[in-house]
Structure 1
Amino acid sequence: MPISIKNVMMKRHYQHEEDIGLFQRMQQDDPLAFEEIYNRYFLKLSNTAFKRLQDREMTEEIVQELFVNLWLKRHRLPELKHPESYLQTLLRNSVIDWFRAQARQDGFAAELLAQPDRQTVNATEQHILYADLQRAYESTIGQLPEKCRQVYALHQQGRSVTDIADQLQIAPKTVESHLLKAHQTLRHVLKDYSAVAVALFNLVF
């Protein structure tokens, strides 16, 4: 039987196989089983991630990376009784890691621009780099909606989501939405000025 026809028949068979069986086959290096898992859950995981991220490009990147790691680490997976729950847990952790990375990135820019001692940044070119980044950062913050700016400012002070929600008398999910909006907006600025930020980091510190 030609390989291509055999593969088609196996794919059709896998479409009716339970998740546990597919994961077991994948752990035995079966790429067709992995392909079926991917086809079965890519859209579902993407929809879940997009609800939190509201960024289609980042959603696709995170979910694609999740499946790449799933295949690469297939021999080290725990014994799974609920594969879908396991995938959802992986996705939740990936989204949390993304938010943490954004918070660190945004926090670095805020800390950098808050440095009171600029004597080390004394060359004309260095002043221009610093001023350029500062204007871009402050302009971006200034264009955020008022409540979003308040939430972001409190977050930069180290306040938790719960503390911010209590102080501003809004729901924790509303706080998360404001932080998401601020992070997404700043991410574009920090991406464009990343080289400047690195240069200034070396100069100031």
Structure 2
Amino acid sequence: MISLRQGDIKAFDELYHRYAKKSMGFALRFFADRYVAEEAVQEIFIRIWEKRRELDESKSFKSYLFQAVKFYMFNFIRDRKGALSFDEVSEETFQMGNSVEEDLHYKEMEAAAMQLITRLPTVQQQVFRMNKLEGLTIQEIASRMNLSKRTIEHHIYLATKTVKSKLRYHMSVSAMIFWGLFF
């Protein structure tokens, strides 16, 4: 913890490798969606690095980390309160839809996502495409681009955050139109 507070990246990497899988398992208790759980853990570790100087080295890092996952979950739920969740919609509602309309909706969302990706800064766009579309690991991207793994993780985080926030807005407008067809 002392080394981490002083900005030692090796100390951060050690803590990340020691606790990332454990915190991911803990996050999966709250988030059924593996992607959301992964994003929660990644964002928490980014925040830990950014606020490393404020950490209290006399306290347990593990306790701090698991507490952070719980707070992330509470904030996640609070921020989405009132939003329609697919988990909350019955299966019959999905089966009612016309497959042509569903295909059009999916293609519209895919086109919107691709458009948003093209608006990202160049490096973020490259890293995002390599990771999310080509399936390359962070290590593979870091090697190809001659950047640190931490830098790649940060670019993926920023790109994902940007695309998700803008796509979420697009989805809410499209979803209102889409759901309007049924009700």
- Which structure's CA Rg is the greater one? 1
